[in-house]
Structure 1
Amino acid sequence: MIVFPNCKINLGLHITAKRTDGFHDLETVFYPLPVTDALEVITPGTLQFASSGIPVPGDTADNLCLRAFHLLQLDYPQVQPVNIHLHKHIPIGAGLGGGSSDAAFMLQLLNNKFQLGLTSGQLIDYAAQLGSDCPFFILNQPCYATGRGEIMEPLSLDLSGYSFLLVHPGIHVNTGWAFRQITPQAPVRALKEVIQLPVTEWKQAISNDFEAPVFAAHPELAAIKATMYSEGAVYATMSGSGSAVVGLFPKSKIADIRWDASYLVFKVN
């Protein structure tokens, strides 16, 4: 059984409060895009994990796909050991939610493979135990998100009239560091209202709180965003805490920009 976990982008991101549990409250709009990994599972009788494509850092035992497996198996012993192969295509540490998507798709894949009968609500509860962005990929539709990102309200947001350009320069932004640079404050106007403005007004109306500190530390990211605007982007932003930068262009009119050869570039028309 094979699935294709997709990425997300953040359209606006505000850190609104520091919580007593050490996390932060935020508001953002998640929007899914069809840049995908590939996740395959077969049932050989022993639990195995392998990956290809973009190297996955860290201890394999901590991989979110394995953590998703163990989480479900605790409550559902009928979940048998599986052979997992993950082909990474979504850049890691880019603010695109690739690892979170892999985990959420793993939960759904196991739910289907072993016929557990879990509802979307139950899957969201499991996903929230794996990471703040994971629940979004259970719904996988445009959402206004609050709390840690797990409280979601589906939005009627159709961007099919635009093409997307994603550029990842290979910079890793430590999420903990990024949060420590932010002084939380409530926005003047809720993002779920502002996102309803015409896309041509987003440049002045929608912002990402992480951009100021991350751009100060990595000026090349600010330069990528500026280049997108100079080459015709209607709206451009850093996704999440970085470091991927995304630009919205009129449909099928993404400029032919010569980026550094080391950058990963994705076009979604």
Structure 2
Amino acid sequence: MLDFPNAKINLGLYVTEKRSDGFHNLESCFYPVQWCDALEILPAQTEQFTLTGLPVPGNPETNLCLKAYKLLQQDFALPPIQLHLHKVIPMGAGLGGGSSDAAFTLRLLNSVFGLNLSTAILQNYARQLGSDCAFFIENKAVIATEKGDVFTALDLNLRGYTCVLVYPGIHITTAEAYGNIKPKPAPQPLESILKQDVITWKDLLHNDFETALFPKYPELAQLKEKLYAAGAVYASMSGSGSTVYGLFKGEVPANLVFPDNYLIRHSLL
């Protein structure tokens, strides 16, 4: 069975407080976009896991897809599988690619083996794999709070907009991103901002990680300004970076070009 785990962007991101468990509470809107990996799961005689596409650093045995399989295997005695992941979503990009791969693995295993697990149960498994993994189980726009794993449904319609995502090849770890963050309450409820016309978001909707990371990586700030100069109605860094995206009403200007080593995707919302 084949599926295509997609990325997400953050529409606003406020780091509101440091938790006693070492994590941070946040408030953000997670919104799915069509920048996708490819994931295939097949029954097999022996367990197999292969990776292609963009290089994935670290030991393959620690990959979140394998962790997702082993998590369900413990409870349901799953047989061996052949699992293949083709990476297209860059790592350290603020797009949730690894989390999406893990969540889609849970979803596919649920289908392949007829486990009949509910959305809520799949989300609970996903929360054990990463803070934003659970979002990709339903894969719909939400307001995410606490560690990014508590969701409130959001009626947000961005049809007619094109999202231009620009990854400049800078890998930013979570530890680096949070290193210069100073938690503080959001200036106003995020949902109230998102209910306003998109044209107002430029002055109201912010990502706290920009304040922490733009001084160190000025090219990210320059990307944001370039998107605005090209006519984006809203532009921001996604997550803890380093992808910067712009929302364009209708078609994207043909003269919007970037260096050859940047990864670019256009996603119709």
Shorter-chain TM-score: which interval?
over 0.9
Secondary structure of the 2:108 match is helix
Aligned to 1:4: 4
**Match for 1:197: what amino acid?**
Q
User: Could you list the runs of 5+ residues in structure 1 that have no partner in the other structure?
Assistant: none
The verdict on how the C-alpha distance between 1:254 and 1:124 changes in structure 2, with shifts beyond 3 A counting, is farther
Distance across 2 between alignment mates of 1:90 and 1:66? 18
Distance across 2 between alignment mates of 1:171 and 1:165? 17
Instruction: Using the TM superposition, give the Cα deviation of residue 258 of structure 1 relative to its aligned residue in structure 2, in angstroms.
Output: 2.1
Aligned to 2:121: 122
Deviations 1:111-146 (A, max 9, x none): 111111110000000000000010000110000010
Q: What does 1:19-38 align with in structure 2 at a 5 Å threshold?
A: 19-38=19-38
Q: What does 1:6-85 align with in structure 2 at a 5 Å threshold?
A: 6-77=6-77, 79-85=78-84
Q: What does 1:143-154 align with in structure 2 at a 5 Å threshold?
A: 143-154=142-153
Deviations 1:58-111 (A, max 9, x none): 10000000000000011111x111011111111111000000000000001001
Instruction: Using the TM superposition, give the Cα deviation of residue 256 of structure 1 relative to its aligned residue in structure 2, in angstroms.
Output: 2.7
Instruction: Using the TM superposition, give the Cα deviation of residue 255 of structure 1 relative to its aligned residue in structure 2, in angstroms.
Output: 4.4
Instruction: Using the TM superposition, give the Cα deviation of residue 251 of structure 1 relative to its aligned residue in structure 2, in angstroms.
Output: 1.2
**Match for 1:63: what amino acid?**
N
TM-score (norm 1): 0.98
Instruction: Using the TM superposition, give the Cα deviation of residue 14 of structure 1 relative to its aligned residue in structure 2, in angstroms.
Output: 0.3
Aligned to 2:139: 140
Instruction: Using the TM superposition, give the Cα deviation of residue 154 of structure 1 relative to its aligned residue in structure 2, in angstroms.
Output: 1.2
User: Could you list the runs of 5+ residues in structure 2 that have no partner in the other structure?
Assistant: none
**Match for 2:258: what amino acid?**
W
1:232·1:255 contact (CA, 8 Å) conserved in 2? no
**Match for 1:64: what amino acid?**
L
CA RMSD of aligned residues (A): 0.9
1:231·1:255 contact (CA, 8 Å) conserved in 2? no
TM-score (norm 2): 0.98
Kindly report structure 1 stretches of 4+ aligned residues shifted beyond 2 Å. 253-256
Distance across 2 between alignment mates of 1:66 and 1:73? 10
Distance across 1 between alignment mates of 2:112 and 2:253? 40
Secondary structure of the 2:65 match is helix
Aligned length: 268
Distance across 1 between alignment mates of 2:253 and 2:33? 16
Q: What does 1:88-107 align with in structure 2 at a 5 Å threshold?
A: 88-107=87-106
**Match for 1:165: what amino acid?**
V
